[in-house]
């Protein structure tokens, strides 16, 4: 269905209008700690970063810790209660295309049968408004994993930088509904063209999935991962990492079963109680991270489980670089 | 919003019976509290579940009882960490959690009409017992049935009650072995590691399917022995033990190569295993 292109002049005005309609806006904003997506109290708090936030918006759909179940002992019997499902309607505003793609990949995991009820409820209540990138960092490599600074994968509404504002592309029904609900902010702009996306420097990883598979036993993994600390910083800043642990916290009478983010880079992740660890050293664990993201998931999900946001590279305290590691096998076969 | 279908919510089960198999392995017989669940519950041999002690957490074990024996499920576990300590603390009548069944299962339909060889090492006998007793309960559908049950020592042999029964049956061959040094003065079974004893038994690979489970090193060496005896990898099945949390493909923990052990396994043929990275 062809539509007249629409222009949005001001992102802050959209944030204000959404909030005025009673829907929460979660967007990049200034605040203590790392730059991240926060619930805005007013549209003025919106502060789009030059390139991207330090933390992805993932935590608003898949919180670092959340209850899965509550229990209470009644004699020898036990009473179980489901935690309430999240009901807050929200718009994730100012999501970069890499992070929007990250959400689509979380969907592929959590909405697959059997559906994760907590993620599904948050996801159903969330509308993703992405803003295409005008600039890129040295660590950005979305184009290496089949995306682009202007790709619409995972977005409900995509706003591309253009002369005088943003060119709006409603990608899904949710996006079209959002535009319709705030129609006065979107003006017809038949001749508007989006600015050219920034050029990224890093080489394509197309086809690297097979080369990595062949390189499982390659001796270079030991050298590549020699300095990896196993701190799992990479996983905590990743928009697609979704591994979690489940553990109970309880008093003598009642308690809660919680899930918390976990990571394949941590030694305990696969360690059996017997002491046997299928991935007994850091090179084996770093290799798993690279393999799962760039090789195994191509077979299981149809595309890399990496969106090239570059955060794991920028934030690694010892300069581990997933793109460089994989590219090494791509070029040397 | 409520009620929701909470995939993480276990069924409540009651501890009906406790059997101490060895000094550190215990079997719990569990029955479902909700009569509707008890009535509707089915599973296939090889499938696993998450067992929980509320307040201590969840732990994954296979269902050790056969699906042909209705009304209860059994799990056998070795005392190891926090959850198994708590499960060991449970008394008859106590309430525990059971989430499952999860994963694939042994292809029993494929086994019909063939000879079967079962091999279990230590606590690895638990999944072997489920499919083995499943086949015993349908005995006339299979040709010759052989089982080799091994452990470190006589004290560490699991399912002694069942073994006594199996040894009396004329329609199957039951061999027990303990590692050298693990025998007692009155031990009448074999003495030797499973692969060695298996080689001596020399079961015919003709028309035979093999099922094995045990510690990683035992699986590795026994697969080599089976190959030597002429078993093609497509006719050897084993079940993998990986650390798991969710049990249905979300938490990422049991990922090995392109598979998740929880949903693509835990049962794999040796032919499938050969395609996976050596990451187990």
B45 and B92 in one domain? yes
Strand spans (E) along A105-147? 126-131
pLDDT, one tens digit per residue, over B131-187 is 999 999 999 999 999 999 999 999 999 999 999 999 999 999 999 999 999 999 999
If one counts the domains in chain B, the total is 2
Strand, coil or helix: B173: strand
State the alpha helices, DSSP H only, in A195-321: 208-214, 220-224, 233-236, 282-291, 297-300, 311-315
Residue B123 has pLDDT above 70, yes or no: yes
B16-54: burial string, b at 16+ Cβ within 10 Å, e else:
eeebebbeebbbbbbebeeeeeeeebebbbbbbbbbbbb
CA–CA distance, B215 with B101 (Å, rounded to integer): 23
List, for residues A108-123, the tens digit of each pLDDT value.
999 999 999 999 999 9
Please say which residue of B239, B258, B275 terminates a domain. Answer: B239
Place of tokens 């052990």: B261
Shortest Cα–Cα distance, A204 to chain B (Å): 22
Please check whether residue A223 touches B, CB under 8 A: no
Backbone phi, then psi, for A150, in 5-degree steps? -120, 15
Residue B30 sits in the same domain as residue B142: no
Domain stop point among B85, B102, B119 = B102
Of A98, A84, A81, A87, nearest to A136 (Cα)? A98
Residue B90 maps to a domain: yes
CATH number at residue B183: 3.40.50.80
On whether both B112 and B234 belong to a single domain, the answer is yes
pLDDT in the model for residue A332: 54
All residues of chain B having their beta carbon less than 8 Å from the beta carbon of residue A243 are: 251-253
Domain shared by B232 and B113, yes or no: yes
Domain of B232 in residue numbering reads as 108-239
What pLDDT digit, counting tens, does each position of B56-114 carry?
999 999 999 999 999 999 999 999 999 999 999 999 999 999 999 999 999 999 999 99
Are residues B6 and A82, on separate chains, in Cβ contact within 8 Å?
yes
* Distance from the B118 Cα atom to the nearest Cα atom in chain A, whole angstroms: 24
| Average of per-residue pLDDT values in chain A | 95
Same domain, residue pair B129 and B54 = no
Q: Is 90 exceeded by the pLDDT of residue A3?
A: no
Which residue has 């923990």 as its token pair? B253
Examine residue B15 and state whether it is found in any structural domain, yes or no: yes
Does B6 reside within a domain?
no
| Domain contains B168 | yes
CATH number, residue B26: 2.40.30.10
Q: Are B200 and B109 in contact (CB under 8 A)?
A: no
- pLDDT at residue A331 above 80? no
pLDDT at B124 over 70: yes
The DSSP result for B89-154, as a single string, is: H--TT-EEEEEEEES----HHHHTTSEEEEEEEGGGHHHHHHHHHHHHTTGGGSS-EEEEEEESSG
Check: complex ipTM more than 0.85: yes
Provide the residue count of chain A. 333
Q: Would the CA dihedral through B141, B103, A266, A208 be positive or negative? A: positive
Let me know whether B152 and B194 are in one domain. Answer: yes
Do B52 and B26 reside in the same domain of the chain? yes
Confidence of residue A2 (pLDDT cuts 50, 70, 90): low
Question: Hey, is the C-beta of A291 within 8 angstroms of any chain B C-beta?
Answer: yes
Judge if B210 and B173 occupy the same domain: yes
Q: What is the pLDDT of residues B14-56, one digit of tens each?
A: 999 999 999 999 999 999 999 999 999 999 999 999 999 999 9
Which of B102, B121, B137 lies at the terminal end of a domain, its last residue?
A: B102
Q: Between chains, do A296 and B258 touch, taking CB under 8 Å as contact? A: yes
Judge if the upstream peptide bond of residue A114 is cis by omega within 30 degrees of 0: yes
CA A7 to chain centre: 27
For residue B266, is it within any domain? Answer: no
Residue A148 has pLDDT above 80, yes or no: yes
Element holding A72 (H helix, E strand): strand A65-74
Is the domain of B115 the same as that of B222?
Answer: yes
pLDDT at A1 over 50: no
Contact (CB<8Å) B6/A299: no
Is residue B156 one of the residues assigned to a domain? yes
Q: Is residue B45 domain-resident? A: yes
Give tens-digit pLDDT for A241-285: 999 999 999 998 999 999 999 999 999 999 988 888 999 999 999
Which residues, at least 6 apart from A74, have a Cβ–Cβ distance to it below 8 Å?
none
Residue-wise pLDDT for A203-220, tens only, equals 999 999 999 999 999 999
Residue B273 inside a domain? The answer is: no
Q: Identify from A61, A110, A267, A296 which residue to disrupt to test chain B contact, counting B C-beta atoms within 10 A and taking the largest count.
A: A296
Residue A97 has a CB neighbour count (10 Å cut-off) of 27
CB < 8 Å to B251, chain A: 243-246, 259, 262
Answer for the pair A299, A265: CB distance below 8 angstroms, yes or no.
Answer: no
Amino acid A330: pLDDT: 83
Confidence check: pLDDT of B4 > 80:
no
**The pLDDT value given to residue B277:** 87
- For residue A154, the distance in angstroms to the closest alpha carbon of chain B comes to 19
Q: Are residues B119 and B217 in the same domain?
A: yes
Is B72 found in the same domain as B15?
Answer: yes
By residue count, chain B amounts to 280
Evaluate whether A35 touches A54 at the Cβ level (below 8 Å).
yes
State how far the Cα of A30 lies from the Cα of A49, in Å rounded to an integer.
9
* Separation of CA A99 from chain center: 5
pTM of the model: 0.94
Answer yes or no: do B246 and A244 touch at CB < 8 A: yes
Query: Are residue B65 and residue B125 in the same domain, yes or no?
Result: no
């Amino acid at each position: 269905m062809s539509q007249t292109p629409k222009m949005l002049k001001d992102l802050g005005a959209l944030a204000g209008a959404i909030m005025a309609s009673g829907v929460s806006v979660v967007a990049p904003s200034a605040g203590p700690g790392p730059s991240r997506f926060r619930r805005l109290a007013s549209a003025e708090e919106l502060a789009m970063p030059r390139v991207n936030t330090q933390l992805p918006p993932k935590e608003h759909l898949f919180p670092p810790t959340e209850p899965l179940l509550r229990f209470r002992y009644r004699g020898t019997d036990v009473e179980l209660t489901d935690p309430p499902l999240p009901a807050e309607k929200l718009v994730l505003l100012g999501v970069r295309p890499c992070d929007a793609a990250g959400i689509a990949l979380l969907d592929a995991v959590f909405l697959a049968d059997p559906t994760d009820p907590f993620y599904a409820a948050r996801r159903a209540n969330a509308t993703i408004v992405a803003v295409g990138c005008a600039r890129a960092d040295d660590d950005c490599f979305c184009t290496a994993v089949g995306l682009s600074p202007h790709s619409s994968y995972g977005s409900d509404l995509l706003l591309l930088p253009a002369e005088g504002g943003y060119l709006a592309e409603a990608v899904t029904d949710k996006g079209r509904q959002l535009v319709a609900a705030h129609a006065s902010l979107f003006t017809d702009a038949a001749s508007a063209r989006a600015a050219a996306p920034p050029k990224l420097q890093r080489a394509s990883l197309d086809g690297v999935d097979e080369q990595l598979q062949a390189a499982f036993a390659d001796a270079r993994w030991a050298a590549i991962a020699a300095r990896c600390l196993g701190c799992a910083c990479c996983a905590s800043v990743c928009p697609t990492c979704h591994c979690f642990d489940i553990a109970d916290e309880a008093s003598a009478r009642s308690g809660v079963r919680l899930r918390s983010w976990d990571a394949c880079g941590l030694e305990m992740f696969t360690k059996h109680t017997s002491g046997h660890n299928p991935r007994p050293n850091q090179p084996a664990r770093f290799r798993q991270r690279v393999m799962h993201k760039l090789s195994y998931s191509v077979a299981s999900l149809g595309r890399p489980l990496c969106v090239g946001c570059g955060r794991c590279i920028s934030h690694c305290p010892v300069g581990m670089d997933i793109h460089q590691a994989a590219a090494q096998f791509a070029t040397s076969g | 919003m409520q009620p929701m279908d909470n995939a993480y919510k276990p069924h409540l089960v009651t501890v009906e019976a406790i059997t101490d198999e060895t000094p550190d392995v215990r079997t719990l017989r569990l029955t479902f509290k909700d009569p509707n669940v008890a009535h509707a519950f089915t599973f296939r041999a090889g499938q696993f579940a998450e067992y929980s002690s509320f307040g201590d957490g969840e732990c994954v074990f296979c269902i050790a009882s056969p699906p042909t024996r209705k009304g209860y499920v059994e799990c056998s576990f070795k005392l190891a960490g926090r959850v198994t300590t708590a499960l060991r603390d449970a008394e008859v009548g106590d309430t525990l959690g059971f989430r499952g069944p999860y994963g694939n299962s042994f292809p029993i339909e494929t086994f019909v009409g063939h000879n079967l060889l079962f091999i279990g090492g230590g606590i690895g006998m638990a999944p072997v017992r489920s499919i083995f007793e499943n086949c015993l309960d349908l005995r006339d559908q299979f040709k010759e049935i052989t089982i080799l049950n091994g452990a470190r020592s006589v004290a560490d042999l699991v399912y002694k009650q069942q073994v006594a029964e199996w040894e009396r049956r004329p329609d199957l061959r039951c061999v027990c072995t303990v590692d050298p040094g693990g025998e007692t003065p009155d031990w009448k079974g074999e003495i030797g590691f499973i692969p060695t004893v298996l080689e001596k038994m020399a079961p015919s690979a003709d028309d035979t399917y093999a099922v094995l489970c045990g510690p990683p090193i035992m699986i590795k060496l026994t697969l080599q022995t089976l190959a030597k005896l002429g078993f093609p990898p497509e006719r050897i099945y084993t079940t993998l033990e990986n650390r798991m949390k969710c049990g249905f493909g979300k938490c990422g923990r049991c990922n090995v190569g392109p598979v998740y052990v929880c949903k693509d396994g835990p049962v794999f043929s040796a032919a499938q295993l050969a395609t996976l990275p050596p990451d187990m």
